[in-house]
Structure 1
Amino acid sequence: METSSPCPVDAVLKLLAGPWTTHVLWVLQTQGALRFGALKRAIPGISSRLLTERLRRLASAGFVAREMVPSVPPQVTYRLTERGRRLGEVLAQLQPIVSEWEAQAASEVEAPLGLP
């Protein structure tokens, strides 16, 4: 993972900003190791090409491990590495903030102009 920015977290945030990236991490964190087909089914709407690209980028950054069992067809399983699990813990800490913001947005829709 390259770090050309003076901000030390830029490289990670740029990686996570890619489409579906956090969703892939979340599924692997909540469901554990999965084969490609099961992972694709767990993320409705993602194309095989994009899932492959996301998995390769996450693997090259050390967040996901790809394990292949030689068979016909080959059995490939993806799982979070220790680095990926640690990142997942940090991302999980955002959930209370996101829930709070969603609740605020919902109350703003219900009470426009700040009226109760």
Structure 2
Amino acid sequence: MKNAGSRLAGAVVLGALLFGGIGAAYAGNTYASFSTTVPRFNGLGSTGYQTKAISNAHVQFNSTMVGGSYVVDARAEGPAYIGPWSRNVGDGDARSLSNTINKGSNTRISFSNDLTTPQNVQVSGKWRSQ
């Protein structure tokens, strides 16, 4: 009986590892919500990380809200890559950020505001690394 229980427990752990690994590999294809505060005077805020599912595929996002009447700039970032800024993202904007980030890499979007922005700016929406 003890052997059967050990085998069952081993099978459950193996199944969880396999399904967890599959989920992580495709995490970049699913849109995830984000909310970040970009500090005033050219501050920097970012999304959490996603695992890139497709090498070089555009990182996509839709902004739900960019605080007040302000705009921010956005760029894709990976372990060995920092992309060009996509300028003047406002409320309801959708952007597609080109990059050369490899599949399996941690990827995020960074946001920045202007040097003359006198207050913190809240940015929220949905994004995916693809």
Indicate the structure with greater strand content: 2
Query: Is TM more than 0.5 here?
Result: no
Q: TM-score, normalised by structure 1?
A: 0.25
Indicate the structure with greater helix content: 1
Larger CA Rg, structure 1 vs 2: 2
Greater relative CO, 1 or 2 (CA 8 Å, sep 6+): 2
